[in-house]
Amino acid sequence: MATNYKILGQITGSSATASLYTVPAATQTVVSSLVVANRSTSNSTFWIAAIPSGDTLANKNYLAFNVPISASDSTALTLGITLGASDFIQVSGVATGSFTLFGSEIS
């Protein structure tokens, strides 16, 4: 089994729900960290959810919900989440922000 350390996903923020990362087929992933950057001059909030393959977003999936983030600031989260094939991470918030996910894919 090969391990590939990488940036798993990067997107700019939005008030809409967005998929940041989906585990490829025949792969397992360890998510090590997530950085949320608020590039705006206004305070904001964000949320993060880990969703199993085949499920849709539900209250049980939230890792963080409406977490405040100050203007022109960033939040780094150390996660250690394990995901199987087709599991995915969704995010929302910080309309003028960025989400970057780091981790390892094992295939």
pLDDT at position 83, please?
A: 98
pLDDT at position 24, please?
A: 98
Tell me: the pLDDT tens digits for 9-60? Answer: 999 987 789 999 999 999 999 999 999 999 999 999 999 999 999 999 999 9
pLDDT at position 1, please?
A: 83
H or E element, residue 79: strand 74-83
Which tokens belong to 52?
């199993």
pLDDT at position 94, please?
A: 86
Tell me: the pLDDT tens digits for 66-83? Answer: 999 999 999 999 999 999
